[in-house]
């Protein structure tokens, strides 16, 4: 299962738009429905406008009506498996911290964790 999701993330990576960083990232998000949503990083001349691959996948899935997720795979050309950035961890946590996070690289190295481990004290919007 992880291998299938990693393969989808790596395939997506080819469509990354990363002319500034030259650092393509691919993501594949498995919804509880069984569908897989891909995402890539989309950079911009105004650097701060850039969207990461994980959030691109998440927003595509949400747009399709999904609200519950099993796992996300992320792949980039890194030394060791790529790590999702903090903003993406927070964005994903909105929909549950039981999410399995499969981190990989183009060398085929894989490490698996969960969002609750990767984001142990994320922001929650709760007034007292």
Active-site residue set: 54
Judged by beta carbon, residue 21 or residue 111, the one nearer ligand THU is 21
Question: Which of these segments, 30-38, 61-69, 81-89, 106-114, binds ligand THU (CB under 6 A)?
Answer: 81-89
Query: Should residue 50 be labelled a site residue for ligand THU when binding is judged by CB under 6 A?
Result: yes
Q: Decide: is 23 part of the binding site for ligand THU (CB under 6 A).
A: yes
Which token pair is 85?
A: 């950035």
| Residue 57 makes contact with ligand THU by CB under 6 A | no
3-state secondary structure of 2: helix
Told to check if 71 binds ligand THU by CB under 6 A, we report: no
Strand order in 110-114's β-sheet? 36-40, 25-31, 69-76, 100-105, 110-114
For residue 69, the number of C-alpha atoms closer than 13 Å in the C-beta half-sphere is 33
The verdict on 41 binding ligand THU (CB under 6 A) reads: yes
Q: Which tokens sit at 75?
A: 């792949």
- From candidates 13, 61, 84, 119, binder to ligand THU by CB under 6 A: 84
Which of 70, 72, 66, 57 is closest to 15 using CA atoms? 57
What is the C-alpha to C-alpha distance for residues 34 and 72, in angstroms, rounded to an integer? 12
CA 126 from centre of chain: 25
Least distance CB 25 / ligand THU (angstroms)? 3
The only residue of 54, 58, 61, 66 in contact with ligand THU, by rule CB under 6 A: 54
Binding site for ligand THU (CB under 6 A): 18, 21, 23, 25, 41, 43, 50, 52-54, 84-85, 88
């Amino acid at each position: 299962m992880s291998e299938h999701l990693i393969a989808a993330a790596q395939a997506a990576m080819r469509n990354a738009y990363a002319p500034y960083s030259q650092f393509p990232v691919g993501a594949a998000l498995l919804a509880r429905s069984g569908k897989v949503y891909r995402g890539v990083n989309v950079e911009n001349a105004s650097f701060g406008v850039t969207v990461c691959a994980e959030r691109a996948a998440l927003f595509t899935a949400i747009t399709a009506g999904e609200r519950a997720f099993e796992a996300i795979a992320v792949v980039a050309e890194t030394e060791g498996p790529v790590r999702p950035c903090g903003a993406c961890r927070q964005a994903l946590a909105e929909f549950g911290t039981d999410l399995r996070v499969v981190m990989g690289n183009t060398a085929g190295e894989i490490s698996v964790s969960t969002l609750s481990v990767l984001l142990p004290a994320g922001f929650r919007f709760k007034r007292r």
